[in-house]
Structure 1
Amino acid sequence: MKSVLITGANRSIGLETAKQLLERGLFVYLGSRSLEKGATAAQALKEKGLEHVQAIEIDVTNPASILSAKNIIEKEQGKLDILINNAGISGAYPQQAMDAPAEGIQEVFDTNFFGVIHVTQAFLELLKKSDSPRISNITSGLGSLTGHADPSWKYYQVKPVSYVCSKAALNAYTIVLAHELKDLPFKVNAIDPGYTATAFNQFSGPGTVESAASFIIKHTLTDEHAPTGKFYSNDIEDATEESPW
């Protein structure tokens, strides 16, 4: 049975992704900063007959917490097949480049960018023991520099500096990491679940968590011939589903 760790999985898109992966027969480590909230979410899944789930405490901004989670999974599984870096924050609003406090921007980067790096580097050892390791970095269409430079883009006016810059940096990290792992059976991709109705955006998005999770899984559970180092978006309507960087 393949194992997957999803960070920030106690609610919203992360929780729905856990549910759908459980339905596909994977063992899911449901990552949550609060073990209590994670345990509550895991118990709700078990009550639906989805037994192969375990809450695990992981704060992506806390190296000790990350190491503890890694040690637990190593002891129980010996390896990890899939890492879904889903945890993220939007930061306080308004966010304007001219006057946003640098400390606020750094706080968003600590979770959305540096948190992903800390978690990924900690779990690489276990991922390398898998026959088909996958790393999916959950990003946003707002991380597209091409989009932000195009006045005709539908989200052109939406430019929260902390969030935009953190996701653009995450996309860049994804490209570099995928390149470094290209000679191993890794697939490393940035996946934008689309503008989804969640508490993250006061439920303003048109998409559903079910669609968002399904899209993440589509570009995570891939075969050995699948691309790596790509930026997929659920808001792109063409056949490739690739977003411009």
Structure 2
Amino acid sequence: MEGGAVPKPSEKRVALVTGGNRGMGFEICRQLASSGLTVVLTARSETRGAEAARELHGFGLPDVVSHQLDVTEPTSAARLADFVRTKFGKLDVLVNNAGIMGVTMEVGDDEAAVKEMMVGKDQNEIAEWLKQRTTQSAEQAEECVRINYHGTKTVTEALLPLVQSSSSSSSGGRIVNVTSSFGLLRFFSGEELRQELSSVDTLTTQRLDELSALFLEDYRSGRLEPRGWPTDRVYAAYQVSKALVSAYARVLARDNPALRVNCVHPGYVQTEMNRNTGDLTAAEGARVSVAVALADQGGVTGAYFDRTQIASFV
């Protein structure tokens, strides 16, 4: 910017969605744009992000721009923040949607065969069928925590000043973390860990970082149960990462009372992560995050939504 001029904040509300190039993230972008917001669609691949934005333009949604983002790279998040600051001068809504399961599912590439398997089975039976064909390495567990928890934190910290700049407007700044019921504290085997992660008055981001490192150390050494982590080794990293994401949202809400910071479990959505075995479409899953992001000024903060209902983190 010439002479260090500060850009005039956009008159339209501005939203940013991580992992916005496909699946539920793409639908969140589409629904936010359809609601009249300018949307920054981010993707790890610059090419795929641009393609997704062009697809939304084809739906009659011109106010969608794409930007490359690797949530695990602080420099990438910093470049994104500079882009938003220069182009819009603020950020009204941040949806942290990007995430992975961090597992290998040996179910083949035949989508028709997977669909046939689902006939006559309920969601518990389908989940068990997938679990029996799923493995996770220590490297995948580490990547899962790095992307789901640390990635969410890295992006939020880079963009937080821009969301704070929106908090004085009539709409107020919003942060929505997409989480999962799999990350509820009832899955933790130890009462001490459940209590610590429930104690939002004393939790800090430094302690959450320490817990993430401790989990990975225990995962590698086979000490999940003695420490009180979730004991299902296949999904433990995903469960812990989502529990940390939820705890981080509560810390943010506590420390930023002018913002609205909440977590959303969208339901069992059809995604590539679960080989499209979910019982909800991407559009149905996206509606929850969009509704929380666009809720009336003065709404709830520091809450966990199980679909449309406020529920317990435990």
TM-score, structure 1 as length reference:
0.88
Q: Quick check: 1:38–1:57 contact (8 Å CA) kept in 2?
A: yes
Distance, in Å, in 1 between the alignment partners of 2:182 and 2:23 is 19
Distance, in Å, in 1 between the alignment partners of 2:276 and 2:188 is 23
CA RMSD of aligned residues (A): 2.2
**1:196-211 alignment, distance < 5 Å:** 196-211=269-284
Distance, in Å, in 2 between the alignment partners of 1:148 and 1:63 is 30
1:120 to 147, 153, 156: 156
Shift of 1:147: 5.7
1:19 to 26, 30, 35: 30
Distance, in Å, in 2 between the alignment partners of 1:171 and 1:178 is 11
Identity in percent: 35
Distance, in Å, in 1 between the alignment partners of 2:49 and 2:74 is 19
Shift of 1:159: 6.3
Distance, in Å, in 2 between the alignment partners of 1:120 and 1:218 is 20
Distance, in Å, in 1 between the alignment partners of 2:149 and 2:188 is 19
1:178-211 deviation digits (Å, cap 9, x = unpaired): 11112x2x00001111101111110111011111
Q: Look up the match of 1:190.
A: 263
Distance, in Å, in 2 between the alignment partners of 1:100 and 1:50 is 40
Distance, in Å, in 2 between the alignment partners of 1:85 and 1:71 is 18
Distance, in Å, in 2 between the alignment partners of 1:24 and 1:158 is 41
The amino acid that maps onto 1:232 is: F
Distance, in Å, in 2 between the alignment partners of 1:158 and 1:110 is 17
Q: Look up the match of 2:14.
A: 3
**1:28-107 alignment, distance < 5 Å:** 28-93=39-104, 101-107=137-143
Distance, in Å, in 1 between the alignment partners of 2:245 and 2:232 is 21
User: What is the SS of the residue equivalent to 1:207?
Assistant: coil
User: Runs of 5+ in structure 1 lacking a partner?
Assistant: 150-155
The amino acid that maps onto 1:110 is: R
User: What is the SS of the residue equivalent to 2:293?
Assistant: coil
Q: Which has the higher helix share?
A: 2
Distance, in Å, in 2 between the alignment partners of 1:202 and 1:141 is 18
Shift of 1:169: 1.0
TM-score, structure 2 as length reference:
0.69
Shift of 1:107: 1.0
Q: Look up the match of 1:143.
A: 183
Shift of 1:120: 0.6
User: What is the SS of the residue equivalent to 2:81?
Assistant: helix
Q: What is the aligned length? A: 231
Q: Look up the match of 2:174.
A: 134
User: What is the SS of the residue equivalent to 1:176?
Assistant: helix
Q: Look up the match of 2:243.
A: 168
User: Runs of 5+ in structure 2 lacking a partner?
Assistant: 1-11, 106-130, 190-230
Distance, in Å, in 2 between the alignment partners of 1:133 and 1:58 is 21
**Which 4+ stretches in 1 moved above 4 angstroms?**
156-159
The amino acid that maps onto 1:117 is: K
Distance, in Å, in 2 between the alignment partners of 1:157 and 1:116 is 24
1:197-229 deviation digits (Å, cap 9, x = unpaired): 111110111011111111111111122221100
Q: Quick check: 1:141–1:243 contact (8 Å CA) kept in 2?
A: no
1:216 to 280, 284, 289: 289
Distance, in Å, in 2 between the alignment partners of 1:219 and 1:166 is 21
Q: Look up the match of 1:242.
A: 311
1:115-174 deviation digits (Å, cap 9, x = unpaired): 11111111111111112000000101101122667xxxxxx9896111111001111111
The amino acid that maps onto 2:147 is: T
Shift of 1:63: 1.1
Distance, in Å, in 2 between the alignment partners of 1:6 and 1:177 is 18
Q: 1:92 to 1:144 in 2, by over 3 A?
A: same
